[in-house]
A and B are shown apart, each in its own frame.
Chain A
Amino acid sequence: MFNAIDTAGTGIHVYQTWIDALGNNIANVNDIAPTSDAAFQATFVQAQALPTGPDGVGGGVVITGLPQSDAQGIVTYDKDSPVADAQGYVRRPDIDLSSQMTNLIMAQRAYQANATVIDRATDVYKAGLAINKGA
């Protein structure tokens, strides 16, 4: 019952996870690893639509996986780094901060949109329950 709320709830969950993942990526954007180790790998959120319910409308969205970016990272020359190898190279994560920020705005707006759907749907259901209440 109250399908719109459940459906928007799945969206809220997905975007919450996306914001969490972006927060982790941005927090680690300057991590430096020795070339013998893997660079920090950015987390992506993979999602797909839920199957159509009995009313013919889809049931929302679900997370299908959290793939990681390339462990190769970007090999940079930084001979002063304490973890630099003999040739003076280190690994930086292959994260584009601007695209992370853009995704963060998208995730924020989408989260807000889903929260608004819940608010509106609640108003609608309440209007339905208030039918003929004055009589």
Chain B
Amino acid sequence: MTNPISAIAAIGQLGEAAPAAAASSAAVPSTSGADFAKVLGNGIDAVQSSQSNADQLAVQAATGQLTDPATYTIAATQAQLMTQLMTTIESKSVDAFNQIMGMQA
């Protein structure tokens, strides 16, 4: 049941805290909402560092310091994918939250 959420571990590298996001399964009473926030925060930090890495390489490419231009395009691709992964997880989480909140209606 918690499988879809393990993607969060991928960006946060904190697999154990991932079930916190699975509050919708209501089977994990021992975790709190703060854990998910932490995991998401770590994930966003990882995205941030990959983006700043790509930014640095972009400057090096523009100033001609990069001997291997593919280094930049690869880093930019990875930053793009990580950003997409982060926004996907964020929107899925908000969807899950909204669905729980909509149960009363």
A residues neighboring B (CB under 8 Å)? 1-2, 5-6, 8-9, 12-13, 16-17, 20, 115, 118, 122, 125-126, 129, 133
Contact = CB atoms under 8 A, between A and B. Distances in A.
B60 interface: no
Contacts of A5: 74, 77-78, 81
Contact of A16 (B10, B70, B82): B70
B81 A9 contact: no
Candidate in A1, A5, A115 with the most chain B CB atoms within 10 angstroms: A1
Interface string B56-89: 0000000000011011001001100110110010
The SS class assigned to the A binding surface is helix
Interface residues of B, number: 14
Contact of A118 (B10, B77, B84): B77
Contact of A12 (B74, B81, B84): B74
B54 interface: no
Contacts of A115: 70
A129 B70 contact: no
B70 A122 contact: no
